[in-house]
């Protein structure tokens, strides 16, 4: 399984285009507005089988999230915003049920910026939510993976230790550490390695110095500051065996698929034994 995979989105991406990338593995994102019924799950299961795609992760996203800059992320993303917690908890449990219907053994999401202060009310509330989701996922035999990058590796590690659930894992995205300016990705990977269950292969450049709240800029794989060759080599050295899921989030779909295809080619070369 140490081979290219793809991170794609249900409803947004044409499955035929995903299939044309020539990969066998993927991670599917579920938009916050998507209806999750048994019938929809059955349709997806059949479509994925017909496309020859095996999902390793189902990702939850939520209505009202905004990734424009760091303050927008802090205000709108994941489990941190208080007003949407109950709705997003219910949604995440529904995504876990949906993934179980597809036979997928891992769910994931961005939980938002975890406060560093373990006594903060938001920290306590988010910790309880993560426990609830982990326990629900465990009943389906699933892991629950947190996406990296919105906090430094040591903060994430401390938080996860505090949550204290065996099926709580990490989806490691090296570019996010750069885009959010939270740390050097290879060092973070080495710190978090025992908990990494899946990865995104995404690239990007650091935020411009002196611009408060700005995110860095995502780049096509191999063209940013991650050092994707070193990233893949470090994964190999650490014994990671899962697919290398290329991720590219850009508005223009044509550009996006061109870059996903380029990423798959690059990873195919890098992952060679």
In angstroms, give the least distance from the CB of 245 to Mg ion: 9
In angstroms, give the least distance from the CB of 209 to Mg ion: 24
Chain positions 131 to 190 lying near Mg ion, rule: CB under 5 A, are 173
Nearer CB in complex with Mg ion: 99/203: 203
Q: Which stretch binds Mg ion (CB under 5 A): 20-28, 150-158, 218-226, 244-252?
A: 244-252
Q: How far is CA 139 from CA 109, 133, 144, 153, 161, in A?
A: 18, 10, 11, 28, 20
Looking at the DSSP bridge assignments, the partners of residue 58 are 28, 107
Residue 254: CB partners within 8 Å, gap ≥ 6? none
Nearer CB in complex with Mg ion: 67/90: 67
Chain positions 54 to 83 lying near Mg ion, rule: CB under 5 A, are none
What is the Cβ-side half-sphere exposure of residue 14, based on CA atoms within 13 angstroms? 8
Q: Is 110 in the site for Mg ion (CB under 5 A)?
A: no
Q: How far is CA 204 from CA 33, 123, 215, 219, 247, in A?
A: 28, 28, 10, 5, 11
Minimal CB distance residue for Mg ion: 173
In angstroms, give the least distance from the CB of 231 to Mg ion: 13
Q: Is 200 in the site for Mg ion (CB under 5 A)?
A: yes
Judged by the rule CB under 5 A, the positions of this chain that interact with Mg ion are 173, 200, 247
């Amino acid at each position: 399984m140490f081979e290219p995979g793809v991170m794609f989105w249900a409803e947004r991406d044409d499955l035929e285009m995903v299939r044309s990338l020539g990969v066998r593995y993927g991670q599917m994102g579920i938009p916050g507005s998507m209806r999750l019924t048994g019938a929809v799950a059955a349709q997806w299961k059949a479509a994925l089988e017909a496309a020859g795609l095996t999902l390793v992760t189902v990702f939850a996203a939520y209505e009202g999230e905004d990734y424009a800059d760091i303050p927008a992320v802090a205000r709108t993303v994941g489990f941190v915003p208080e007003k949407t917690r109950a709705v997003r908890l219910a949604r995440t449990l529904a995504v876990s049920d949906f993934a179980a219907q597809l036979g997928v053994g891992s769910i994931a999401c961005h939980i938002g910026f975890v406060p560093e202060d373990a006594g903060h009310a938001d920290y306590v509330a988010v910790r309880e939510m993560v426990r609830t989701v982990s326990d629900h996922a465990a009943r389906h035999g699933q892991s629950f993976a947190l996406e990296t990058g919105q906090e430094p590796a040591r903060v994430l590690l401390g938080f996860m230790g505090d949550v204290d659930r065996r099926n709580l894992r990490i989806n490691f995205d090296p570019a996010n550490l750069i885009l959010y300016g939270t740390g050097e990705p290879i060092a973070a990977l080495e710190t978090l390695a025992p908990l990494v269950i899946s990865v995104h292969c995404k690239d990007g450049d650091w935020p411009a110095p002196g611009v408060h709240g700005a995110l860095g800029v995502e780049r096509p794989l191999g063209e940013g500051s991650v050092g994707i060759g070193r990233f893949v080599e470090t994964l190999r050295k650490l014994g990671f065996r899962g697919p290398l899921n290329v991720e590219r989030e850009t508005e223009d779909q044509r550009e996006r698929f061109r870059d996903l295809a380029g990423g798959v080619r690059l990873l195919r070369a890098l992952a060679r034994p």
